[in-house]
Structure 1
Amino acid sequence: MIPKIEQASTLEIKAFQEGKLVELLAYLNENSAYYKTVFSENNIDVHSIKTLEDLTKIPTTTKDQLQQYNDDFLCVPKSKIIDYVTTSGTLGDPVTFALTDNDLERLAYNEAISFACAGVNKEDVLQLMTTIDRRFMAGLAYFLGVRKLGAGIIRVGAGIPELQWDSILKFKPSYLIAVPSFLLKLIEHAEQHDIDLNNSGVKGAICIGEPLREQDFSLNSLSQKIKAKWNIELYSTYASTEMNTAFTECEQQQGGHHHPELIIVEILDEKDNPVAPGEVGELTISTLGVEGMPLLRFKTGDMVSAHKEACSCGRNTLRLGPVVGRKKQMIKYKGTTLYPPAMNNILNDFNEVDSYIIEISHNEIGTDEILIKIAAKATSEKLLQNIKDHFRAKLRVAPKIEFHDKKEIQKLQFPKMSRKPILVIDKRV
């Protein structure tokens, strides 16, 4: 189930996207109060934008603008809206997205081809371990995508290892849809209750919310821990509510594949210009085929690099490497530039660490400080020193680390209304 456009040549994909870009600009010029104002204030004739290179003539759209003028992005009358979702609000107030019937169909198509990319077919059964309620787009997208693919789905929702295992043993799903760190909790439950992990029928997991790989696509600490106990394939998927689109790994597991029929991708530097090939920059997207709230040159805040060589799976599309970090969460610490995912990888190396939260703040002279609060199976000065040594070896600096009660950490990780665990609290704003 590889769409023909994803097997086309690079030039054919570019020409196809430029045709879709012209359609998007005409649609926004007619229906979007926000983008009509942008075009007018910047004297932009949308008919003069014909190539992907021409995009740099248009200002980018930021999360702040999307929050401030949320209603002005709506391109259809309220009567056409079928579903409302909101962003998780990790870095600011949640933003509302209104979806039409066509948008839900597009979402289903996106997820169906994404699952197929990871090797899932209609003979498979998938167990959904994320919420489908609480205005969460991902859970809804997974459900619609599995349905469109013609596969089976078990909607268990987030958490509760006992219920997850009851469903796995009863319905024999071949794939799980889960946050990777939750797979460790499933492994722990299985070991405590004499469940044979590798005889459970699970072939793989489609993973959301946490990176699985290093920048060279080798398994990171979290993935290594999972695979050391459970012989399943792990597939990384990256998406956001604003994109209405996912980047999912194929069976080669060399980055998330771009669906050119659904989204235009730019990777930009600080001045909103394209970065050199292979360099890290901010992922900036323009959505194609979205009816309710399409976006043009929207800066996602995620720092990534692109891989453009053809993949042996047969797709010629761009692939995104693992997210290096959120641009707003970049930390300048003792002369070193850090992003939280690099710290996650180090902390995940330690089996003694149960859970943690990373707090970023400014000190009295205005420079960045890092405090890592850890809940451990057994606290000791030796463990603390080992963790700090590990930080110095990998990142050249060691942040302040404190032991805390597990319940206190969990309270910080799961505040009221949260739909996924929070690992970073940024107090610098």
Structure 2
Amino acid sequence: MIPVIEKASKGEIKEFQEKKLRELLVYLSENSPYYKALFQNEGININDVNSIEDLQKIPVTSKTDLQQYNDDFFCVPMHKIIDYATTSGTLGSPVTFGLTDEDLERLAYNEAISFACAGIKEGDVVQLMTTMDRRFMAGLAYFLGLRKLKAGVIRVGAGIPELQWDSILKYNPKYLIAVPSFLLKMIEYAEHNNIDYNNSSIEGVVCIGESLRNQDFSPSILAEKITNKWKIKLYSTYASTEMSTAFTECEAFSGGHHHPELIITEILDDNDNPVAEGESGELTITTLGVEGMPLLRFKTGDIVKLHPEPCQCGRNTYRIGPVVGRKQHMIKYKGTTLYPPAMHDLLNYFEAIQNHVIEISTNDLGTDEILIKIASSKASEELLSEIKDHFRAKLRVTPKVEFVPSDQLNKIIFTPMSRKPITFIDKRN
């Protein structure tokens, strides 16, 4: 199930996207209060924007713009909105997105081709281990995509290893959709309850919310900890509410595939200029085919790298590599630039660490401070020393590390009001 456009030549893909871009600009100029005002205030003639390169003539849209002028981004009357979703608010106040019937169709198409990318086929049974409530777009998108793909869905929701295993053993799903770190809890539960997980029906997991790959696409420590025990295939997928689009790995495990019929991407530097090929920058997106709240040159805050070479799966679309980190989460610590994913991966190296939370704050000198709270049944000065040595060796810095009781840390990580486990807290102004 590879869409024709994704097997087209790079020239054909560019021509296709530029036609869709011109259609989008007309739609925004007629229906979007925000972009209508932007074009007028900046003196932009949309007839002058005919190519991907011409997008440079239009200012970027920031998360702050979305938060400040949320209602002005709606392009349809409110009676046409049939589903409301909000961003998680990780980088500030949550933003409301309204989806029309057409938008839900587009969302279903996006996930259907994304899951097909990971090998899920019609008739496969998939266990959905994420919430569909709390105004969470992703859970709904997964359900709609699997339905469109004509796969069976078991809607178990997040957490509760016992219930997850009960469903696996009862319904024999072939795939799971899950947060990868939770798979370690699934393994632990199986081992304590004599469940032969390597002889279960599970062949693969589409993993959300946490990185599985290093920048060279080798498995992260978290991925290795899972697959060293459970012999299953792990597929990365990267998406956001603002994009209404996913970038999912195929069996080459070399980055998430771009769907050119759904989204235009740019990789920009700190001055909003395109980076050189092969360099990392901030992913900036323009949505195609969105009716309710389309976005033009929206800066996602995620630092990524594009991989343009054709893939062995037959797609000619470029791939997006693992997220290096979120721009707003960048930490300057003792002269070194750090992103949380690198620290999470380093902490996953230690079998003795049950859970951890990274806290960033500003000290009296106005510089960044890092405090890592760790839960471990083997807490000792020796383990503390090992962790600090490992940080020094791998990241060239030694943050403050302290042990806290497991139940105390779990209250922070698994907050009832949060849709995702909280392992990073930014207390900086």
Give the TM-score normalised by the residue count of structure 1: 0.99
SS in 1 for 2:369: strand
User: How far 1:378 moved relative to its partner?
Assistant: 1.6
Aligned counterpart, 2:276: 276
Q: How does 1:6-155 map to 2 (within 5 A)?
A: 6-155=6-155
User: How far 1:159 moved relative to its partner?
Assistant: 0.1
User: How far 1:123 moved relative to its partner?
Assistant: 2.4
> Residues 15-59 of structure 1: CA distance to partner in whole angstroms, max 9, x if unpaired?
000000001100000000000011011000011100000001000
User: How far 1:219 moved relative to its partner?
Assistant: 0.3
Aligned counterpart, 2:175: 175
SS in 2 for 1:105: helix
User: How far 1:416 moved relative to its partner?
Assistant: 4.2
Cα separation, 1, equivalents of 2:149 and 2:321: 26
SS in 2 for 1:19: helix
Aligned counterpart, 2:383: 383
Cα separation, 2, equivalents of 1:82 and 1:39: 29
Q: Number of residue pairs matched?
A: 429
User: How far 1:414 moved relative to its partner?
Assistant: 2.7
| Consecutive unaligned residues in structure 1, runs of 5 or more | none
The amino acid that maps onto 1:222 is: L
Aligned counterpart, 1:215: 215
Q: How does 1:200-239 map to 2 (within 5 A)?
A: 200-239=200-239
Q: How does 1:164-313 map to 2 (within 5 A)?
A: 164-313=164-313
The amino acid that maps onto 1:380 is: S
The amino acid that maps onto 1:392 is: R
SS in 2 for 1:359: strand
> Is the deviation greater in 388-397 or in 140-149?
388-397
| Consecutive unaligned residues in structure 2, runs of 5 or more | none
> Is the deviation greater in 343-352 or in 403-412?
403-412
SS in 2 for 1:420: coil
Cα separation, 2, equivalents of 1:333 and 1:303: 19
SS in 2 for 1:176: strand
Aligned counterpart, 2:160: 160
User: How far 1:405 moved relative to its partner?
Assistant: 1.1
The amino acid that maps onto 1:394 is: K
SS in 2 for 1:408: helix
Cα separation, 1, equivalents of 2:226 and 2:234: 9
The amino acid that maps onto 1:214 is: N
Aligned counterpart, 2:349: 349
Aligned counterpart, 1:323: 323
Cα separation, 2, equivalents of 1:316 and 1:330: 32
User: How far 1:369 moved relative to its partner?
Assistant: 0.6
> Residues 316-336 of structure 1: CA distance to partner in whole angstroms, max 9, x if unpaired?
101000000000000010110
Cα separation, 2, equivalents of 1:312 and 1:215: 19
SS in 2 for 1:223: helix
Q: How does 1:401-416 map to 2 (within 5 A)?
A: 401-416=401-416
Determine whether 1:400 maps to 2:400: yes
Cα separation, 1, equivalents of 2:364 and 2:172: 56
Cα separation, 2, equivalents of 1:384 and 1:91: 31
User: How far 1:426 moved relative to its partner?
Assistant: 0.5
Cα separation, 2, equivalents of 1:363 and 1:415: 26
Cα separation, 1, equivalents of 2:407 and 2:75: 45
Superposed CA RMSD in Å reads: 0.6
Cα separation, 1, equivalents of 2:213 and 2:370: 24
SS in 2 for 1:253: coil
Cα separation, 1, equivalents of 2:371 and 2:348: 16
SS in 2 for 1:55: helix
Cα separation, 1, equivalents of 2:301 and 2:78: 29
The amino acid that maps onto 1:417 is: M
The amino acid that maps onto 1:331 is: I
User: How far 1:222 moved relative to its partner?
Assistant: 0.3
Q: In structure 2, do the counterparts of structure 1 residues 156 and 416 end up closer, same or farther at CA, with 3 Å as the change threshold?
A: closer
Cα separation, 2, equivalents of 1:199 and 1:153: 21
Cα separation, 2, equivalents of 1:423 and 1:271: 30
Cα separation, 1, equivalents of 2:423 and 2:317: 32
> Residues 158-199 of structure 1: CA distance to partner in whole angstroms, max 9, x if unpaired?
000000000000000000000000000000000000100111
Cα separation, 2, equivalents of 1:47 and 1:408: 58
Question: What percent of counterpart residues are identical?
Answer: 70
The amino acid that maps onto 1:363 is: N
The amino acid that maps onto 1:160 is: I
Cα separation, 1, equivalents of 2:414 and 2:121: 34
User: How far 1:95 moved relative to its partner?
Assistant: 0.5
Cα separation, 1, equivalents of 2:92 and 2:368: 19
Cα separation, 1, equivalents of 2:350 and 2:141: 34
SS in 2 for 1:370: strand
Aligned counterpart, 2:339: 339
Give the TM-score normalised by the residue count of structure 2: 0.99
Cα separation, 2, equivalents of 1:29 and 1:377: 59
Cα separation, 1, equivalents of 2:82 and 2:258: 27
SS in 2 for 1:353: coil
> Residues 205-246 of structure 1: CA distance to partner in whole angstroms, max 9, x if unpaired?
000000001000000100000001100000000000000000
The amino acid that maps onto 1:235 is: Y
The amino acid that maps onto 2:26 is: A
